[in-house]
Structures are given as structure tokens and as C-alpha cells.
Amino acid sequence: MLDINAGQYELIYNSFSFGIAAMGAATLFLFLNRTTVSANYRAAVTISGLVTAIALYHYVRIIESWAGAFTVLNGTITATGARFNDAYRYVDWLLTVPLLLIELILVMRLSRAETTSKSFRLGGLAILMILLGYPGEVSTDPTTRWIWWASSMVPFLFIVVELFVGLKKSIDSQPAEARGLINNARWLTIVSWCFYPVVFILPMIGVTGGAATTAVQIGYTIADVVAKAVFGVLIYQIAVRKSEVEVAAHAATLGEVGAVARPANA
């Protein structure tokens, strides 16, 4: 941390500020528009808003901790002696990562049994992944970091397999109009989540000093914005599309019933 220069400090600070703005905007958008979707999908949109709201809170705490750890005067950066608390990220992930998977399951509107089983399985794997990653994140020993990184990758790979294989049949049963969006949400989850293990190993593959701190903090922030704010808006789009399909199907059913009930000489 002490190896960073004033430019790197400002770049990291601005990335945190961007994270706050993105999470705040997504939170407002999701909560203000949750009533525009069918009641069947409001839980998914609500959880999306909770995810970004939790992230917003933690990014406020992160930027406060970052600002408190350094002072910048005339282009010179000095440590204040206060510790930058990066654990806020892991507290955030422990809460939000399981919810990200659950909101995807909820918007698919599977059977109650399938929703429950997949939510507990994927949510549990997500919690395990975060818990296994934290000891490596706070360690400065490369071997220790590699061990915990490899350990956390095990539940991560199980989640990827579940998203690709376990949900394929469920996605195929979704309305054709929403199937592409749901598949995009699945891919967005996988691709954005792949940023985290890559960012994690940067200090272990030769990126050191201020460059490592800058790459890690900005990398995690970008991944968070994509995985939470962008993903949440995509979940809302899926909810809107499926609501439209269900409204059209209901109207068609009412029309058929009316045609049958109408007298032949009417």
C-alpha cells in the first residue's frame, strides 16, 4: 500500500466513486421500476435492488477507509497510520454473491422445489467460495495465497457447471421471447465472476507495489459494477419480457373463452 503514488491513489479513489454512482443509480432504477413487472417477478427485481444497495453501502465504507488511510498534499502521498480496511469487500460479497444467483433463479420462475434446491445449493457454494478466498486475500505469502485461491476455485467451478449444465433444461423451458436474455444473464454471471480470480492472482504473477494495489482495487470495482449493477438491470429486462409474455397469453386465453361463450347468432 505504501508504494502507491498520488496518481494511483486518485485513480483508485475515483474508481470507488464510480462504484458508488453505479450502485446508487442501479438501486434507484430497480426499486422505482419494480412495480412495472408482474408480481411473479417482483421478488427477483427487489433482490437485485438489495444487492446494489448493499454494495452501495460497502463502497461508501471502502472509500471512507481509503481516504482515511492516506493524505495527499502537493502531489505527495503520506500514510496516516490508519489501516485501509479491504475486508469490506468480502463482507459485501458474502451477502451479495449468493443473492445474485438467487435472483437469477427467481426470475426464471421454476417450480417451488427446484427454486428451493437450486437456491440453497448455489447460495451455499457461493458462501463457501467467499470464505475460502478471504484467508488468501489477506495473506502476503504467495504459497498461502495460491492454496486458498485453488480452494475457492473448487466451489466456483461447481457453480459454473451448475449454470451451464444444471440450468440448461430450465432455460430451454423458458418462453422463447425471454430465453436469449436469460442465457445472456447466465453468461454475464460467468464472465464477470471470472474477473475476480484473475484479479486475485495479479500480485502472485509479478504485479507488485502500487501497480498491484491499483490493478486489484480497480479490477474488483469493475467486476462488481458489471456483476451487480449491469446484471441487475438485465434481470429487470428479463422480468419485463416475461411479464409481457404472460399478459399476452392471459389476454389470448380470455379472448378464446369469450369466443366460446359468445352465442352463435351474436
43-52, 160-169, 204-213: least confident range: 160-169
Confidence of residue 165 (pLDDT cuts 50, 70, 90): confident
What confidence category does residue 209 fall into, taking pLDDT thresholds of 50, 70 and 90?
confident
Best-predicted range by mean pLDDT (24-33, 118-127, 175-184): 24-33
Q: What is the pLDDT, as a whole number, of residue 86?
A: 86
pLDDT averaged over every residue in the chain:
89
Q: Bridge partners of 77?
A: 72
pLDDT at 255 exceeding the cut of 90: no
Q: Determine phi and psi for 38, rounding to 5 degrees.
A: -60, 150
Pick from 114, 112, 115, 196: nearest CA to 160: 196
Specify the pLDDT at position 250: 64
pLDDT for 259 equals 57
Is residue 115 within 8 A of residue 45, CB to CB? The reply is no
**pLDDT beyond 80 at 262:** no
The tens digit of pLDDT for each residue in 79-110 reads 898 989 989 999 999 999 999 999 999 988 88
Residue 264 pLDDT > 60, yes or no? Answer: no
For residue 251, the model assigns a pLDDT of 73
| Gap between the Cα atoms of 191 and 193, Å rounded | 5
List, in order, residues 6 or more apart from 128 with CB less than 8 Å away.
155
**% of the chain exceeding 70 in pLDDT:** 93
CA 116/CA 259 separation, integer angstroms: 40
Residue among 167, 53, 33, 157 at smallest CA distance from 99: 53
CATH 3.20.20.220 is the classification of domain 6-261:
no
Mean pLDDT of 54-65: 97
pLDDT > 80? residue 131: yes
